[in-house]
């Protein structure tokens, strides 16, 4: 059903996009004035090393996606549209994976996209696929008065990014899914099962607002395009400890472990701490847990254990305290 798009698909493509836009008040199609490339969309993408795919059902075009190279290893996902009757069938997932695969095979490292601020269903879709807000919004000054959000995600290998407030808010659901999976998988990280994705999302929304007010640094970690891990640094220390930060909630989704993501997250959070002028870091972790092995392997110093610190599976377990000193800045800096 999915096949490479052709220039002579134009009529079906225009119909699909016009139908999708008509779901949002004020979005209008001005084919010749604003979207002339739709008349030969396959050629348009081919001119920038890209490609176009369409999905057909009963002779009608019901799905569309294109991609083009932006240069420097960056690619753009464009013109992602799925007919109302095909939503929730997995077609949109297949279209998005098609683009990631194509861009990665062509050596792409980052996939970007623009999405109209009104297209809330699309934002949820992109966020589920690991995209996060990245950079300023842009107004198009077109007949639809479009204002667009920028999204992006790394698509190749293990990559960690510091999330600003907009990125953190847009990552809340994906990170909530990671948190829920870790708690359900037996991790001792404040919460107890049953702990659903909604609760995890609410937790990361609160963290996003702390990022917005400067009280916290939040990092996201991707494995081949999936947002699969996170760690955060609490900066809200008392006035006599301006040099300290506490590393919290190092999490890697159970399906993405032992690929070096936790290590990459810890190196990046140490960098972020240095950038924030914090050179004495602390953390605690359940005795005997994989976290303990990560921190030891990375040279953190162990202080000792507090026995019976936290409840897990009906029994009390000990917690170990670790610290690490980074290169020191001047006192009071």
By CB under 6 A, name the binding residues for ligand COA: 182, 187, 189, 250-252, 257-263, 283, 285, 289-291, 293-294, 297
27 vs 261, beta carbon nearer ligand COA: 261
| Least gap, CB of 191 to ligand COA (angstroms) | 11
| Least gap, CB of 244 to ligand COA (angstroms) | 17
Question: What would the DSSP string read from start to end of 115-160?
Answer: EETT-HHHHHHHHHTT-EE-S--EE--STT--EEEEEEEE-SSEEE
Give the whole-angstrom CA distance, residue 333 versus residue 163: 24
Give the whole-angstrom CA distance, residue 166 versus residue 173: 13
40 vs 290, beta carbon nearer ligand COA: 290
87 vs 317, beta carbon nearer ligand COA: 317
61 vs 182, beta carbon nearer ligand COA: 182
Residue 220 · residue 161 · CB < 8 Å: yes
Of 92, 97, 94, 99, nearest to 20 by C-alpha is 92
82 vs 179, beta carbon nearer ligand COA: 179
| Least gap, CB of 211 to ligand COA (angstroms) | 19
Question: What would the DSSP string read from start to end of 246-312?
Answer: EEEEEEE-GGG-SSSHHHHHHHHHHHHHHHTT--EEEEEEETTSHHHHHHHHTTPEEEEEEEEEEEE
134 vs 201, beta carbon nearer ligand COA: 201
| Least gap, CB of 241 to ligand COA (angstroms) | 20
Cα of 128 vs its chain's centroid, Å: 8
| Least gap, CB of 293 to ligand COA (angstroms) | 4
79 vs 249, beta carbon nearer ligand COA: 249
Q: Is the torsion defined by CA of 111, 116, 118, 122 positive or negative? A: negative
| Least gap, CB of 173 to ligand COA (angstroms) | 18
| Least gap, CB of 230 to ligand COA (angstroms) | 9
| Token pair 């996060």 in the structure block, residue | 132
DSSP 35: -
Strand partners, 158: 223
Residue 232 · residue 272 · CB < 8 Å: no
């Amino acid at each position: 059903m999915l096949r490479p798009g052709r220039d002579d698909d134009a009529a079906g493509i225009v119909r699909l996009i016009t139908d999708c836009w008509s779901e949002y008040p004020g979005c209008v199609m001005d084919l010749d004035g604003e979207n002339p490339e739709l008349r030969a969309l396959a050629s348009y993408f081919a001119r920038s090393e890209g490609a176009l795919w369409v999905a057909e059902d009963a002779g009608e075009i019901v799905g569309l996606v294109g991609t083009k190279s932006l240069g420097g290893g960056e690619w753009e996902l464009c013109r992602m549209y799925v007919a109302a009757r095909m939503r929730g069938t997995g077609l949109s997932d297949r279209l998005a994976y098609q683009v990631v695969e194509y861009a990665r095979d062509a050596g792409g490292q980052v996939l970007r996209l623009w999405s109209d601020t009104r297209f809330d269903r699309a934002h949820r879709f992109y966020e589920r696929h690991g995209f996060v807000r990245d950079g300023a919004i842009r107004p198009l000054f077109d007949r639809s008065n479009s204002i667009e959000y920028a999204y992006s995600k790394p698509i190749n290998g293990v990559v960690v990014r510091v999330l600003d407030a907009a990125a953190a808010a847009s990552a809340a659901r994906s990170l909530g899914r990671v948190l829920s999976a870790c708690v359900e998988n037996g991790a001792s990280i404040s919460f107890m099962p049953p702990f659903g994705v909604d609760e995890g999302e609410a937790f990361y929304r609160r963290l996003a607002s702390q990022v917005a007010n400067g009280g916290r640094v939040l990092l996201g970690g991707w494995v081949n395009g999936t947002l699969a891990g996170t760690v955060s640094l609490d900066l809200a220390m008392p006035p006599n400890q301006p040099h300290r930060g506490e590393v919290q909630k190092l999490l890697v989704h159970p399906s993405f472990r032992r690929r070096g993501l936790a290590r990459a997250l810890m190196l990046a959070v140490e960098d972020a701490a240095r950038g924030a002028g914090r050179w004495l870091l602390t953390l605690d972790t359940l005795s005997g847990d994989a976290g303990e092995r990560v921190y030891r392997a990375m040279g953190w110093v162990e202080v000792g254990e507090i026995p019976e610190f936290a409840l897990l599976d009906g029994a009390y377990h000990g917690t170990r305290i670790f610290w690490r000193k980074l290169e020191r800045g001047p006192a009071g800096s």
